[in-house]
Structure 1
Amino acid sequence: MERLQPLKPEELSPEQREVHDAIASGPRGQVRGPLAMWLHRAGLASRAQALGQYCRYDSSLPPRLSELAILVMARTWMAEFEWWAHKPIALKAGVSSEVVEAIRVGKTPEFSLPDEAVVYDFITELHATRNVSDALYQRALDVLGKDMVVDLVGVAGYYTLISMTINVFGVVPSDGSAPELQKA
């Protein structure tokens, strides 16, 4: 069954065009993937992309930890487009190829850095139990600090929305890449 398709430039309303141009002129440089789906509802696209800009570019999390969290979210939701889009960014940000590969195949990575281990454990437990234990919360505070814990929850929430959008509307890599994520 065909799902929602991105709007063509000539199909955009003035409000959609304004949101499109704001996204395209920002750090993303283009409108694709879930953002293209949200553009069907300009109000959602405008607000969601603003949250996404904060979560991805302006949060207290360094890119290495933010991108690690995004990969864990992509794997959790089996969101291929998100994996495809963020795997190269995560590697460039310093997430090791061994960690990326373990996440891809559904295995718990061996971490050498405590901040990466706590991000992985936090996101994994949050999705498995819909909460985190007091012990893990305290560990996250001790390792990351309050600001990064708050931003980590924000990243998890935003990329849950991203992943649901990808999965519901069948968003796939634009270059036709084969799926990489394996069922555990």
Structure 2
Amino acid sequence: MSDRLPRLTPDQLDESQRAVYEGIAGGDRAKGVQHFPLTAEDGSLNGPFGIMLHSPGVGAALQELGSTIRFRTDLSARIREIAILQVAQAVGSEFEWWAHERVGRAAGLTDEELMLLSLGSFSSQDPVEDECAAFCANLLRSSVITDQEYEEAGAVLSRAQMIDLTVLVGYYRTLAQLMAVFDVGVPGNEQTPVGVPRHAH
């Protein structure tokens, strides 16, 4: 974490904090291949997850929403990671980029695609991917979708996909803001890739 919030280890948690911890470290995120470490060597949670423990009521709802976005929508893994990386780039979130570049590579994003995402200029030959990226870019640019943008998105995307993308952008913006306020970056000696904007703390 940072000097603003202490890192909480498992032995320091009360019952409500432990429930949040178990939801993160023992939930869907912990299943299968781990593309980035959820916990440090002392068992404390990395990134936004450690922040959630300090407000377990909100943290429980946030981590459940995040798990739903990651594992229980109809968005493809590539589309989900493209959208998350668009948020990371737009708001300059070091941790989000560091973590989801790894997940994105596992979902099939190429070096060239990641470079374009880092520049905020991603496009795709796949019409659904391309429209999802355009929809997210519009949200990140102005926080609103015009009637024309809505019609263009609706010609390619389902209502559920537009809802899922809107919630995804809001959720990862929230995590980025939490990490900016509490000065939380990438863990340990890990490095954020060159070209990714960084928050000024």
Alpha carbons 1:5, 1:37 under 8 Å: kept = no
Tell me how far apart the structure 2 counterparts of residues 109 and 82 of structure 1 sit (CA, whole Å): 17
Cα displacement string for residues 133-169 of structure 1 (whole angstroms, at most 9, x for unaligned residues) = 2222122222121111111111111111111112112
- Alignment partner, residue 128 of structure 2: 115
Q: Show the 5 A alignment for 1:50-61.
A: 50-61=64-75
Greater helix share, structure number: 1
Alpha carbons 1:56, 1:66 under 8 Å: kept = yes
- Alignment partner, residue 85 of structure 1: 99
Tell me how far apart the structure 2 counterparts of residues 154 and 128 of structure 1 sit (CA, whole Å): 16
Shift in Å at residue 82 of structure 1?
Answer: 0.6
**Judging changes above 3 Å, is the alpha-carbon distance between structure 1 residues 160 and 183 closer, same or farther for their aligned structure 2 residues?**
closer
1:167 maps onto 2:168 in alignment: no
Cα displacement string for residues 91-116 of structure 1 (whole angstroms, at most 9, x for unaligned residues) = 22123321211121x24134222222
Instruction: State the number of aligned residues.
Output: 183
Runs of 4+ in structure 1 off by over 6 angstroms are none
1:158 maps onto 2:159 in alignment: no
Identity %: 30
Cα displacement string for residues 20-63 of structure 1 (whole angstroms, at most 9, x for unaligned residues) = 12221111124421011111011011000110011111011111
Alpha carbons 1:98, 1:109 under 8 Å: kept = no
Tell me how far apart the structure 2 counterparts of residues 42 and 23 of structure 1 sit (CA, whole Å): 12
Alpha carbons 2:93, 2:197 under 8 Å: kept = no
Tell me how far apart the structure 1 counterparts of residues 55 and 188 of structure 2 sit (CA, whole Å): 25
Gaps (5+ residues) in structure 1?
none
- Alignment partner, residue 19 of structure 1: 20
- Normalising by structure 2, what TM-score? 0.84
Equivalent residue for 1:149, pick from 134, 139, 162: 162
Gaps (5+ residues) in structure 2?
31-37, 39-44
What amino acid does structure 1 have at the position aligned with 2:124?
F
Tell me how far apart the structure 1 counterparts of residues 89 and 185 of structure 2 sit (CA, whole Å): 14
Tell me how far apart the structure 1 counterparts of residues 149 and 127 of structure 2 sit (CA, whole Å): 12
Tell me how far apart the structure 1 counterparts of residues 120 and 21 of structure 2 sit (CA, whole Å): 38
